[in-house]
Amino acid sequence: MYTLYSMQRSGNSYKVRLALAKLGIPHKLVEVDILQGESRTPEFLAKNPNGHVPLLEAAPGRYLAESNAILWYVAGGSTLAPEDRIDRADALQWMFFEQHSLEPNIGAAFFWLALIKGGRDLQRHAHEDWMEDGYRSLGVMEKHLAGHRYFAADRYTIADIALYAYTHVAHECDFDLTRFPAIRAWLDRVAAEPGHVTMDWQAETLAVAE
């Protein structure tokens, strides 16, 4: 059985939990509180030298990092992972876009503005860049979704799961989605998919360890 090292309130971890739930794959969850330094212990760094969650133990002692790579692994062979060459490339295109153009701004904003008590003051210098880059990325997504129901392969795939994780909480960290009607309709479609589970996070209850 898979063991998933994850943090409940992490969007990257939520992606994998959502995929495992939709696929009905049994797994054991181990909560790693990165704010208490639990991803920087020698024990955890021996499993993932990059010190990030989520981390999948795919087989005993065989670890896999990076949320979007884990999605390809757990969804391999299912309809969630398109294997046609151009469809796969399209899904990958959006998943690399997610890690390069969306997670570093909307993900960072969610972490500091919605999850961390006092995070807004600590990160005041970064706010303008998060907003500018985040809105730019939302604009790229809106343009695609104006003409497509999903991101790749004309169906719900792990590319949608990857992009949903932080986009569906963007309004919790200062992003106004009212000007993105196609994104809002897509968020509703994803949430209405059979087997959907929610992220279940709580706002501003965490404090960074001293």
Closest separation between CB of residue 205 and its own copies, Å?
Answer: 27
Question: What is the C-alpha to C-alpha distance for residues 33 and 141, in angstroms, rounded to an integer?
Answer: 31
73's CB contacts (< 8 A; 6+ apart) are 56, 58, 64
Closest separation between CB of residue 189 and its own copies, Å?
Answer: 21
Question: What is the C-alpha to C-alpha distance for residues 17 and 11, in angstroms, rounded to an integer?
Answer: 10
Q: Please report, for residues 50, 54, 83, 195, 203, the alpha-carbon distance to residue 75 in angstroms, rounded to integers and kept in the order given.
A: 23, 15, 11, 14, 30
* Closer Cβ to its own copies, 143 or 196, answer by number: 143
Instruction: Catalog residues that contact its own copies under the rule CB under 8 A.
Output: 49-50, 58, 62, 64-70, 72-73, 76-77, 85-86, 88-90, 92-93, 95-97, 99-101, 103-104, 137, 139-140, 143-144
State the Cα torsion 34-8-74-186 to the nearest 10°: -120
Closest separation between CB of residue 168 and its own copies, Å?
Answer: 20
Closest separation between CB of residue 94 and its own copies, Å?
Answer: 8
Beta carbons within 10 angstroms of residue 207's beta carbon: 12
Closest separation between CB of residue 82 and its own copies, Å?
Answer: 12
* Closer Cβ to its own copies, 96 or 117, answer by number: 96
Asked if residues 39 and 51 have their Cβ atoms less than 8 Å apart, the reply is yes
